[in-house]
Structure 1
Amino acid sequence: MEKVIEVNVQSEIGKLNGVIIHTPGEEVENMTPENAERALYSDIINLSIAREEYKQIKGVLSKLTKTFEVKDLLCNILKDEKIKAEVLNRIEKIEPFIGEEAPKGSLKEQLMEEDAENLSRILIEGVEMVKDNLTKYLSKDWFAMRPMHNLLFTRDASMSINNEVLIGRMANAIRDRESVIMRSIFDFTPEFKTSTLSLPATPGATSRIQTIEGGDVLVAREDILVIGNGARTSTQAIDLLMYEFIRRKSEKTQHIIVQQLPHSPESFIHLDMVFTLLDRDKCMVFEPLIMNPGSYQTVHIKIQNGKLLGIRSEKNLLSALKKLGMELEPVLCGGSDEWNQEREQWHSGANFFCVGPGQVLGYARNNYTMEAMNNAGFEIIKANDIIDGSTDISRYQKYVITIDGSELPRGGGGARCMTMPINRTNIEW
C-alpha cells in the first residue's frame, strides 16, 4: 500500500472507495459447543463453508473497490519494533495475563520475539495455554490469549465518521483486543490519513457501562448520526459522544437520532440488524420495530455551537429523518408477512451494505426480502456472476448482489457487519 487514503465517510450510501475486511480463519474454528456462547456465537460454524461464502464477499468487493485485510494491515505495522512493543503494551493493559512471568518468561516477551507475519496471525488466532502450573492445568481454558472469534465482523471495533475513526468500546471483554488492533492500525498506518477518537472514561464508571459498537452507528448524512441503544451500545456511551460534539463547538448543527432496541432476542444485537440505508430515498426496515416502535423510543438530540439545543422524542425513526430532509421509502425485511419478517430478520435479512447509491450486498437466502427489493426497483444479481465476469455490473444502476449464506449468518451478522468502510464519495443530497 503506497497511496495515502483519507478516511472520509459522510454517508452510508456514497460510492465505496476503500474498505477493511477480515477473511475468517482458525480463530473461528477454535470453538466448541461449550465455549461458543462465551465467544458470542449461538452455534459453532463450519470454517471451510464459511470461507467459501466469504470468498464471494471479498471477490465482489475486490472487483468494485480497494480492499484491505486486517491481518495484512496489522502485519505491516508490526514490522516496526517500537510499534510492535506499543501494540503489545496496549494489549497488556486489557489482558494482564500476557505480562505474567512463567518459567520461560512472560508471554509478552515471547510475543516480542515473533516476526511480524507470525505475530499478526497469533494475535488473531490466539495462543494455546502451556499447562505449567496447577492453576493452568486445572483450567478449562485452552488459550492463554483467546482467539478473536468475532474479528470477521470488522464493523464493530472501529467506525468511520466523517474524517475520523471512532474506536469501539466493546460490550464484551472477549472483543476488547479487536478495538486495540483497529486503533493501532489507524494510529500507525502512515497511508491512512485520519485521527482516532476514543471516548473518555467517566470516573467511577466501568467500561461495560459505557459501550458503543459499530453495528449501532450509521452515518445517515454528514450532520446526522443514527445510533442504536440496546444490548451493545449504552445511553452512557451515546452521552459521551454527545459531550464530544458539544466540546467541539461547531457552528454546523449535529443531529443524533437514537433508536432504542430490545435486548433480546440476539438477532436485535445492533441497529443494522433492523435498519440499513439503501439509497438516497430508500431504506431496509424490520417493520415491527422501526415503523411501530411501541415502548422503544426514538429520540432526537440536536447540538450546535457547543450547546445542547434539545432532546425530544419522535414518532419513529423514519419520521425523525423526514423532519431533517431525509424522506425514505421503507423496503420491508421479509416482505409484508409477519412470519416471514421474523424468520428473515433472524438471518440478517435487514443487514445490507452499500457499495454505492442503490447498489448493495445482502444474503441470497432471504427470499421474501429479495422479492421486496426487486419490487422496489433493485436488480437481483448473483455474486459469482460478478466475480466470473458473466454479468457486467455497469449495465445496472440499482442492484442487490446476493451472497450465498448458510454458515456466515449463523455467526450473527450480514454484509454490513463484515465490512468497515474507510472512504466513500460524498453524496449530493
Structure 2
Amino acid sequence: MEGKDKSSVLNVTSEIGKLKTVLLHRPGAEVENLTPELLERLLFDDIPYLKVAREEHDFFADTLRNNGVEVLYLEKLAAEALENKEVKTRFISQFIDEATVESEDLKAALTNYFYDFSNQDMVDKMMAGVRKEELAKYQRNSLYDQVNDFYPFLCDPMPNLYFTRDPFATIGNGITLNHMRTETRNRETIFAKYIFENHPRFKDANVPLWFNRNETTSLEGGDELILSKEVLAIGISQRTDSASIEKVCKKLFNMNSDFKTVLAFHIPTSRAFMHLDTVFTMVDYDKFTIHPEIEGPLTVYEITRDDSKPNGLNVKKQSIILEDILEKHLGRKVTLIRCGGGDRVHAAREQWSDGSNTLAIAPGEVVVYSRNHVTNKLLESYGIKLYVIPSSELSRGRGGPRCMSMPLYRENL
C-alpha cells in the first residue's frame, strides 16, 4: 500500500497520524442474543437493533475506505488464521475451555458441532453464542448439565466485539495482547492471539508483545493512548490495573522500543469513566476533546527507565492539571475542547454517547457520532474537519468511533 513501510505490518506512533489500516468487527448475531436479563452479565446498558447497527457500521467502514483506509475485519482474519487443521483443533479446544464449559460430554458435543462448520461460519457462530436448542440431540445426563439447564446458552454471545479497541492495542510496531477485566470480554482476546500467531499476514512478522493475555492483572485498549512516538498514556481505571502498566513499561523499555515515558493517569472508577479514551482523545497536534471532569488536578505517574532501581523503573507521582502535563510532554501549547462545551447538561448527555471518544484519521480530521451535535459544532469551531456517522444504535453499546476501531498502521508524523 502506498505510504506504508513494507517491512512492518504494524506501525502506530501517534493518535493522529494518517490512518492507513484499521481493524473492525461488523456487528453480528451476537447482538441479537442480548436479552434484558443478560445485559449486566454481558456489559450492555441497552439492546441495539442489529439491522440498523450494521447499516451504521457499514457507513463507518465506508467513511474510512473513502479516505484511503484499508479496512480489515476481525471475523475474517480469525477464520483465515485457522486453515491449518492442528491450529483449528487447538483453537476450538481453547475456545470451549474459555467459555467455561465444565461437562466433558458437552465439550465433546460442542467440538463436533463446531467442526461441522466452515471456518468462517464457525467463527461467526462462536462470536454469536450457542443456544441450547442448537445441540438438540445432546443428552444432558451429567449433574453439571442438569443443574445449569435453566440457562439459555451453552456458550455466551460476545456482543462487545464490535469495540475492537480493547482486546489488543497496537503500540509502535508491537501489541499489548490484553487480559481484560471481565470473563465476558477476556474471551475476545483469543481471536487476536490466533490471528497474530497464525495468520499469513502476521505470523512471520515477529510482532513484539508488550503484554500477554496470560497475565493475571487486567489491561484494556481503551486505556492506551499514544501521545507521541516517545510518550504513551495509560489509564489506571475501572478496567486497567496499575500492575499491568508496570509490566508494559518494563517490556517497552527493555525491548528497545522508541518509547521513553509512560504517563499513568489515575481516573475515576465509574461506568462513565470506564476507559481513558471515554474522557480524553487527541484530535490534532495540539487539540484534545475531553470530559470537563478530567481536567484535574489529576494524579499522574510519570514512568521512565531507571536501571538503578530494583524494578528498573523510576515512578514520579504528580498532582497536575491535564493541560500542564500534556504541554510538558508534547512541547507545545495545547487546547482542551470540552465535551458538550462544558455545559453541565450537554456534557453529561454527550459524554454518555461518547462525545469525547473520537477517531482521528489524520491530524485535525476525526470521525464522530452524529448525535453529539453540541460537541461536534464546537470541534468545527476549532477548525477540526469532521466525518459524521449515524449512531442511534451503535452508541447503545457505550462506545464511540475510537472504541470501534483498532488502527494497525498509521503514517508517522
With normalisation by structure 1, the TM-score equals 0.86
Measure how far apart 1:112 and its partner are: 3.4
Q: In the aligned structure 1, how far is the partner of 2:370 from the partner of 2:353?
A: 11
Structure 1 residues 362 and 175: alpha-carbon distance in aligned structure 2, compared to 1, 3 A threshold: same
Runs of 4+ with >6 A deviation = none
Q: Deviations over 1:327-368 (max 9, x none)?
A: 321111111322211211111000000111111101111111
Deviations 1:149-200 (A, max 9, x none): 1000000001000000111111110112210111211221122335252636
Matched with 2:359 is 353
Give the Cα–Cα distance (whole angstroms) in 2 for the partners of residues 198 and 119 of structure 1: 30
Whichever residue aligns with residue 263 of structure 2, its letter is: I
Instruction: Identify the residue that residue 156 of structure 2 maps to in structure 1.
Output: 146
Do the aligned partners of 1:165 and 1:196 also contact (CA within 8 Å) in 2? yes
Pairing of 1:3-152 with structure 2 (within 5 A): 6-64=9-67, 65-97=69-101, 100-102=104-106, 105-129=108-132, 130=135, 132-133=139-140, 135-136=144-145, 138-152=148-162
**Contact 1:335 / 1:372 at 8 angstroms: preserved in 2?**
yes
- Aligned-CA RMSD value: 2.4
Aligned to 2:330: 325
1:185 to 183, 195, 202: 195
Give 1:71 deviation, angstroms.
1.3
1:383 equivalent in structure 2: none
- Write the distance in 2 (CA, Å) between the matches of 1:217 and 1:147: 26
Work out the CA distance in 1 between the residues paired with 2:213 and 2:396.
Answer: 33
CA distance in 2, matches of 1:4, 1:92: 36
Taking the aligned partners of 2:277 and 2:157, their CA distance within structure 1 comes to 25
SS in 2 for 1:284: strand
In 2, Cα distance between the equivalents of 1:88 and 1:118? 13
CA distance 1:78–1:337, change in 2 (3 Å): same
2:279 equivalent in structure 1? 274
SS at match of 2:162: coil
**CA shift for structure 1 position 142:** 1.6
- Work out which of the residue numbers 220, 229, 232 in structure 1 matches 2:239: 232
* 1:423 pairs with 2:409: yes
Residue 197 (1) aligns with residue 209 (2): yes
CA distance in 1, matches of 2:128, 2:8: 28
- Distance in 1 separating the partners of 2:65 and 2:149: 43
Pairing 1:158–2:168 present? yes
- What is the distance in 2 between the residues matched to 1:343 and 1:84? 45
AA partner of residue 48 (structure 1): K
Matches of 1:5 and 1:310, distance apart in 2: 32
- Rounded Cα–Cα distance in structure 1 between residues aligned with 2:45 and 2:323: 31
**Offset of residue 117 of structure 1:** 2.0
Please list every run of 5 or more consecutive structure 2 residues that lacks an aligned counterpart in the other structure: none
Alignment of 1:249-288 (within 5 A): 250=256, 254-264=260-270, 266-288=271-293
Task: Answer whether contact 2:253 2:259 (CA < 8 A) is retained.
Answer: no
d(CA) in 1 for partners of 2:407, 2:257: 27
Unmatched runs of 5 consecutive residues or more in structure 1: 379-398
Q: Secondary structure at the match of 2:264?
A: strand
Whether 2:398 is the aligned partner of 1:412: answer yes
One-letter amino acid of the counterpart of residue 169, structure 1 = H
| Deviation by residue 1:94-138 (Cα, 9 ceiling, x = unmatched) | 235277224x93422432343212212112112222473265355
Partner of 1:375: 381
Say whether the 8 Å CA contact 1:298–1:316 is kept in structure 2.
Answer: no
Task: Choose from 211, 226, 232 the match for 1:219.
Answer: 226
Corresponding letter in the other structure for 1:303 = R
Q: Secondary structure at the match of 1:313?
A: strand
Aligned-residue offset at 1:309: 3.3
TM-score (norm 2): 0.89
Aligned counterparts of 2:64 and 2:257: Cα–Cα separation in 1: 37
Native 8 Å contact 1:167 1:198 kept in 2: yes
Task: Map 1:162-177; keep pairs closer than 5 Å.
Answer: 162-177=172-187
Q: Deviations over 1:188-221 (max 9, x none)?
A: 112233525263689xxx83xx100000001111
Paired position in structure 2 for 1:344: 350
What's the offset of the Cα at 1:288?
Answer: 1.9
Partner of 1:300: 302
Identity %: 31
Give the equivalent residue in structure 2 for 1:316.
Answer: 321
